[in-house]
Structure 1
Amino acid sequence: MLVVGLTGNIGSGKSSVARMLQEMGATVIDTDRVARDVVAPGTPGLQKTVACFGRQVLKNDGTLNRPLMAQIVFNDPAALARLNAIVHPEIRSRVAAAIADYKRSGSTPLLVIEAPLLIETGMHKMVDRVWLVTVDPRIQVQRIIARNHTTAEQARKRISAQMPQEDKIPYADRIIDNSGSPEKTLQQVRQIWSDDIERPEAQA
């Protein structure tokens, strides 16, 4: 049994790598999905968010207006810090519970915590190993433009808002370069699976 934190910056293809690992037999927890769950209607997370930012952040159906929330915090570091102070402890709590459940059940050979902010939030301390998905910066910009239908300038602004990729490398036990074809990435993932999951000493 192994718990891995899988991280990578926007446009790195981290989610594609997570899908590959899932197809190979891993259990994957997507913290972006957990982040949505912790602010679902009726949760303490949503109640705290409304108390902090006002009812304007709610849609008519009582769910969080995520695009509006993103707009509020994107250019306001203080607002982002307030939101993170609400959401991140809730996410950590759910991830910790999932890791504890996995270690009790051991239903699959690998648990992957897919988290873009794994290192920034300190969640890398909760996992056994950190796997970092990297990408060539030029390809990263192209992917963001294609995926988000945005301009190169907006893509670079999103990249610059994150912890630099090179600053994450020292935290990584494994690096997966996703600058090439999906086949090349899959080849790397299979090799890491063989080295870290299939070897008996990896299970110790």
Structure 2
Amino acid sequence: MFVVGLTGGIAAGKTIVASRLAEKGAAHIDADQLAREVVGPGTPGLAAIVERFGEAILLPDGSLDRPALGAVVFSDPSARKDLEAITHPAVRELSHERMTEATASDPARVVVYDVPLLVESRGAGEFDRVVVVHAPRGMRVARMVTLRGMDEVDAVRRIDAQASDDERLAVADDVIDSSASLESTIKQTDALYKRLVALAAAKAAG
């Protein structure tokens, strides 16, 4: 199994790179999607969150009120750590299951694990390759305000809640610079995929 950890700060353009790699043939596993699954209604994860944060973070139908929980954890580092202690182990276990499924018929298939909080939660050691999608901090704030309609103060707070650019770049084997054009980002991603396929084939061949 050849697993690539794909990460990048919020609004760096990671979704574009992940989508392109999947189009080229990589198995795409989205950590955010897994994080939603492990706190779905009836899960042990949701029960643990309610025990820690109270029923105020539930919607009337019993599902998780993400904006309400987000408002708590993005303004309180200790609360965020408590949430991570609940969700990260469950996500890690589910991700391994999905990776195994994705490579069952083709051990040389490139698996892209799309994880925004790679530096903060998973670390680089468990991946064969770490790819960081990078754009300057100021550009990412502008994207969040312009494209997502987010308040600038909230955008800055969310960026500051993540690892710094330097921390991410320090663990990168490959960097996709998304600060120029979409065409440039796609071109870099296509070249990256060719390298990853070669590395995955070499690992599968022993």
Q: TM-score, normalised by structure 1?
A: 0.92
Q: Secondary structure at the match of 2:118?
A: coil
Aligned identity (percent) is 37
Distance 1:118 1:4 in 2: 11
Q: Which runs of 4+ in 1 moved over 4 A?
A: none
Distance 1:140 1:107 in 2: 36
Q: Is the 8 A contact 1:3 1:128 kept in 2?
A: yes
CA offsets 1:11-48 (integer angstroms, 9 cap, x no match): 10101110011111111111111111110011110111
CA separation of 1:66 and 1:178: change in aligned 2, threshold 3 A: same
Q: Is the 8 A contact 1:145 1:151 kept in 2?
A: yes
CA offsets 1:167-194 (integer angstroms, 9 cap, x no match): 1112111110011111101111111112
CA separation of 1:54 and 1:84: change in aligned 2, threshold 3 A: same
What corresponds to 1:12 in structure 2? 12
Q: Which blocks of at least 5 consecutive residues in structure 2 are unaligned?
A: none
CA separation of 1:144 and 1:108: change in aligned 2, threshold 3 A: farther
Q: CA deviation at 1:158?
A: 2.0
When structure 1 is superposed on structure 2, of 101-110 and 40-49 the one drifting more is: 101-110
CA separation of 1:147 and 1:119: change in aligned 2, threshold 3 A: same
Taking the TM superposition and a 5 Å limit, the aligned residue runs for 1:1-204 are: 2-106=2-106, 109-198=109-198, 200-201=201-202, 203-204=204-205
Q: Is the 8 A contact 1:2 1:197 kept in 2?
A: no
Distance 2:2 2:128 in 1: 7
Aligned residues: 204
Q: Secondary structure at the match of 2:104?
A: helix
Q: CA deviation at 1:81?
A: 1.3
CA separation of 1:107 and 1:147: change in aligned 2, threshold 3 A: farther
